[in-house]
Amino acid sequence: MRDTRESRLLLVLLIAIAFALITVDIRGGEASPVDGARQAAATVFGPVENGVASAVDPVGNAIGAVRASGARHDKIATLEKQNAELKAKLGSDDRNRSRVRQLDDMLKKSATGQYGIKAAEVIAIGAAQGFSWTVTIDAGSKDGVKRDMTVLNGDGLVGRVTTVGPDTSTVLLANDPDFTVGTRMESTDELGFATGQGSRPLAVQFLNGKAKVKKGDRLVTFGSSKDKPFVPGVPVGEVVRVDPSGGDLTRTVYVRPYVGFTKLDIVGIVVQAPREDPRDMVLPKKPKAPAKPKPTPTVTVTISPNGDIVDTEGNVVGNTHESPSPSGNATPNADNAVNEQR
């Protein structure tokens, strides 16, 4: 519609009529003359309104559900976070107990062997792309750590220090193929050299090709000149297999190391060697062999034709025809005789 004088007059007229109808409706109350028109409009537009409402209501319900779901989600997330924190706390307590136990075992080992140690924690493992078995510890030159120092834990020999930084150091583990350590067998003092084989047992070559070695024999470190890179007496492992010498000058046996190289945590760097070789003192005590059961003595008796009961040595121990004594106590019969001998 164009903005003309007639259109303006029409708009003013319509507005005036609307106000007049509103005034009449308000004043008329329930008997309003426009009530019929209102009902007719409701009849026409009611179904449309219901349809719109039915279409809009699910959306509103969905919005309410999403809001409620969000509140529930927040509550569930809070509970999950609390559970995770509780589990972390419990796990941390278990780990702390494990670390305390490891440290205690290591201190006992160092006290027995008179080793001066610096405790450290394993903070990283060697590069995955390499074939070397190494770990990084959180102790370095600032802590007195130097290259070619022995590293041990509560179980035994871990390895030796190869690289030293101000705050960290790299340790070559005893199961690395490039690792070799001189060993001495418990009690017999047979010497050899142990070489790492990764996840397999250490291979030990004894200098004496005819050395008597059996499964279960235990080895310790022999020690190096000026105690570097190895101090003496550190437990290495236990023999699990013996290969026949076959006339060779040396003999190879396989030793299961005491240390679990895949679960290292607390270790100790030997910063001061013992004054004397501890020899076998640091090895754990061997479990006592179970006592042999005592044999139960048995007695064989025979009965002669006259009723005499004779033991294995030919002694007459009773007679089957004997009657009870005057005192009322029966004399030994065959059963009593056997029982007495037992």
> Lowest mean pLDDT: which of 55-64, 70-79, 96-105, 153-162?
55-64
* Best CA proximity match to 132, nearest among 165, 171, 181, 183: 171
High-pLDDT (> 90) share of the chain, %: 42
The residue ranges of DSSP E strands in the chain, in sequence order, are 116-125, 134-137, 150-152, 157-164, 169-173, 180-185, 191-197, 200-206, 218-221, 235-242, 251-257, 266-272, 302-303, 308-310, 316-319
pTM above 0.85, yes or no: no
DSSP 159: E
Is the pLDDT at 192 greater than 50, yes or no?
yes
DSSP summary character for residue 283 = S
* Interacting residues of 145 by C-beta distance below 8 A, sequence separation 6+: 118, 120, 139, 161, 164, 169, 269, 271
CA R_g for the chain: 48
**Continuous segment of H or E residues that includes residue 190:** none
Q: Are strands 157-164 and 169-173 parallel, antiparallel or unpaired?
A: antiparallel
Q: How confident is the model at residue 341 (pLDDT cuts 50, 70, 90)?
A: very low
Q: How many CB atoms lie within 10 A of CB 109?
A: 25
The CA distance from 25 to 33, in Å, is: 7
Task: Say whether pLDDT at 336 is over 60.
Answer: no
pLDDT for res 331: 47
* Measured distance CA(244)–CA(190) in Å, rounded: 16
- Tens digits of per-residue pLDDT, 95-124? 788 888 898 999 999 999 999 999 999 999
Residue pLDDT, tens place only, 257-285: 999 999 999 999 999 999 999 999 999 88
CB-CB contact of 115 with 231 (8 Å) = yes
Distance CA 334, CA 321 (A): 10
| Mean pLDDT across 170-199 | 94
pLDDT at 317 over 90: no
DSSP helix/strand/coil, 28: helix
Amino acid symbol at 23: T
> What's the average model confidence in pLDDT over 209-238?
93
Over the chain, what is the mean pLDDT? 77
- State the pLDDT at residue 21: 62
| pLDDT per residue as tens digits for the range 57-66 | 554 554 455 4
* Amino acid at the residue 222: F
Percent of the chain with pLDDT over 70: 61
Would you state the pLDDT for residue 186?
Answer: 93
**How many whole angstroms separate alpha carbon 80 and alpha carbon 70?**
15
What mean pLDDT is predicted for residues 199-215? 90
pLDDT band with cut points at 50, 70 and 90 for residue 297:
low
Helical segments of 114-165, H only: none
Q: How far apart are CA 339 and CA 318, in angstroms?
A: 12
Q: Is pLDDT of 329 > 60?
A: no
Which is higher by pLDDT, 279 or 295? Answer: 279
